[in-house]
Structure 1
Amino acid sequence: MASTKKYCLFCDLKDDNILIEAYIERHKNVWQEVLDSIKASGIINMEIYNKGNRLFMIIEADASFSFEAKSKLDANNSKVQEWETLMWKYQQKVPFAKEGEKWILLDTIFKL
């Protein structure tokens, strides 16, 4: 079996209950083109969790996955770009995020 890697990221939503609920509803019916793009990048499983206006994402990916390659795939996919533009209506930049960065990769500090 090929080795997999796990990545954990977070993102903040705008602190508005109506927008938060709308974001959650949108994720009950993610567009097929977006799902296909996620799978094509080498992601095997993706989960997003929510509490208040904080989002937490776990990505499990195969050895072929890289964030750089995924970014290039996404940049060339008009439907993914449309989805990302729509999601930005609900999301907000974390104060220490770099320009254009929405999801922030977390560092592992403990593992049992």
Structure 2
Amino acid sequence: MTRRLVLALDLVADAALIAEYERMHEPGSVWPEVLSHIRATGFEEMQIWRVDDRMVMVAEVADDYPRPTPPALDEGAARWEALMWRFQKPLPQARAGEKWRPMRPIFDLSQHPDRAGEV
């Protein structure tokens, strides 16, 4: 069983930095230990979407997320996260040190009956 997480974060509004950030997230560019850490913590799927300087992460995680991870993976992930702060900035009203902020759903089409035939 999985659950979905949706989180938001802003980027520094600088076209060159945003281009570099996107390049660092292309296939083959993310450090292998970071990918291993992501998977080890219980992420089963993850996508990051961007519009202008706003990003949204959509992830499917295992029921036991977040799982404990080996120190070596934690160290690599911590180095990556420190590097990413160059490109990222907290959302307004974020707590000190908070990066990705969880979003809450406000609409789900599957919860609304199909009444297309009604007038």
TM-score range (shorter-chain normalised) is: 0.7 to 0.9
TM-score, length-scaled by structure 2 = 0.83
Per-residue CA deviation, residues 8-40 of structure 1 (Å, 9 max, x unaligned), is: 001000000000000000001111100000101
The CA distance in 2 between the partners of 1:46 and 1:84, in whole Å, is 16
1:95, CA displacement in angstroms? 1.9
CA distance in 1, matches of 2:70, 2:101: 19
What are the within-5 Å matches in structure 2 for residues 6-45 of structure 1?
A: 6-28=4-26, 29-45=29-45
- Corresponding position of 2:82: 85
Gaps of 5+ in 2: 110-119
The two structures, once aligned, show a CA RMSD in angstroms of 1.7
Q: Which residue of 2 aligns with 1:111?
A: 108
Structure with bigger helix share is: 1
Matched-pair contact (CA < 8 Å) for 1:93–1:102? yes
Q: For this pair of structures, how many residues does the alignment match?
A: 106
CA distance in 1, matches of 2:57, 2:42: 16
- Contact conserved, 1:49 with 1:56, CA < 8 A, in 2? yes
- TM-score, normalised on structure 1? 0.88
Greater than 6 Å deviation, 4+ residue runs: none
Question: Which one has the largest radius of gyration?
Answer: 2
2:6 counterpart letter in structure 1: C
Letter in 1 for 2:58: I
Measured in 1, the distance between the counterparts of 2:35 and 2:106 equals 30
Structure 1 vs Structure 2: percent identity of aligned residues?
35
